[in-house]
Amino acid sequence: MFKFNLKPLATIALVATLAAPAAFAQNPMVGGAEMFPNKNIVENAMNSADHTTLVAAVKAAGLAETLSGAGPFTVFAPTNEAFAKLPAGAVDDLLKPENKEKLTKVLTCHAVAADAMSPAIGKMIMDEGGSHKIETLGGCVLTASIRDSDKALVLTDENGTQATVTIPDVKQSNGVIHVIDAVLMPKM
């Protein structure tokens, strides 16, 4: 007669039970909204209360269709607070129709034609001795590094402005968003 050993099944059941919460883990929250990996960058950003300025700028620059496309894209997404750190009137000035080219340049300096999750960026930083140059769609070169004190991913633009990634690896259907706390600018 065949004897069925229940120990392996019990072990599998226990592992499945312990793993179940991870399988049903909530999607990341950004700006009070759940970010869905089956939605694209623009669809998710439009739901974030922290990215209303970025969404308005993307629309004004005519980049919504591009960033809704297949990608892959990595977008370093400044929050409303990041835009508020710019000099008074700077955002309003950038949003004027006559400044569309300049706005487009600023926004594309926050985007890369790749799906770059933070572990991959971190590996490039370590492989290159502590910093990694990132060429953006706008032709800007950002320098990625890891801050020693808290191990945060930091991006430095060509003017020396630093932005810290506050929410990394928000997966999108066409890439990834990394939320940042400063606006990165083209070389002045």
Mean pLDDT is highest, among 18-27, 136-145, 166-175, for 136-145
Residue 121: CB atoms within 10 A of its CB come to: 24
Instruction: Point out which residues pair with 29 in neighbouring strands.
Output: 34
Q: Look up the pTM and report it.
A: 0.83
Is 164 within 8 Å of 182 (Cβ atoms)? yes
Q: Which residue has the higher pLDDT, 31 or 59?
A: 59
Residue 72: CB atoms within 10 A of its CB come to: 16
Q: What does the pLDDT read at residue 29? A: 76
Q: What does the pLDDT read at residue 178? A: 94
Please give the Cα distance from 57 to 99 (Å, whole number): 11
Task: Spell out the long-range contacts of 125-128 with Cβ–Cβ below 8 A and sequence spacing 24 or more.
Answer: none
Instruction: Point out which residues pair with 33 in neighbouring strands.
Output: 30
Q: What does the pLDDT read at residue 18? A: 38
**What domains can be seen in the chain, in order of their start residue?**
35-180 (2.30.180.10)
pLDDT digits (tens, 9 = 90+) for 114-135: 999 999 999 999 999 999 999 9
Q: pLDDT band for 168, please (50, 70, 90 cuts).
A: very high
Q: Is the confidence at residue 46, as pLDDT, over 90?
A: no
List the single range of 13-17, 112-116, 137-141 with lowest mean pLDDT: 13-17
Q: pLDDT band for 39, please (50, 70, 90 cuts).
A: confident
Q: Which two tokens stand for residue 32?
A: 């009070």
